[in-house]
Structure 1
């Protein structure tokens, strides 16, 4: 199959997670497989990978967030993101919290010159157990490319059915060193 033969899954009855599995089955060659799937004509991703510089500053800002589910995003590098106290972590998880500023900014070092981004959310299971999740059920997003070093993510958490890609909207940008 060719990428032009990518199926639009919006009316398939599948969740985004199962649509990704079907998509991988339809395009078994990882190298030629489109990294996204279609949903109502929109390219949907479960994670995004940027090619960037080895060192820089990443800034992320919540633009809007519906409050029915606690939501946030992860930024990951093969290296470190440096927190304000000097602590270095490979993955930065940031939750939308009304008590905190809407924007975060951290220096980073990425050995492979890649920055990885995805949305996260808290799911409540029967019995009241709350679990931090990513990539489950209907989780995904479409990417609005603003420039080479700036993107806006329009996210759906895993529990929304049908997906609402305006459930969480955040902007990420990279300032190379």
Structure 2
């Protein structure tokens, strides 16, 4: 009887621990006055230009959406950042976005008129990622944050940009907390 109770207790502890770990969500609240810390120097590494040749601009489009633009006389790099209240909300938005791509292309994600379907996933990149041949944009979700790179760059440059942006988030302490998914 003791062994049975011990195994039952261990099972309950493991279940509670797993529930706590897997129901946690990442909530980012970066300072968007400076594009979440992504600088002209960071953009310069991607654009192969010195930071001094790049003009940085962050523009608030509405309460949860910002446009970050880095430009020079020769090149332009532009992406949007959307911050939702929760990771679940951002994930739902990503699913809706993918569905709208399939409707627009009149094909599934994996086949049809487009060479690679309406969209494809780029792994490993964020928690969810979507590349589309429709608009030639890369959209990546990490926690409650979604970044979408504008099509001024090729796919590999867009991937490089997103990796550089996501790398800056957590070391800078921008992850403000891990809360329970609701």
Q: Do the two structures share a fold, i.e. TM-score over 0.5?
A: no
Give the greater-gyration-radius structure (CA): 2
- TM-score after normalising by structure 1: 0.27
- TM-score after normalising by structure 2: 0.27
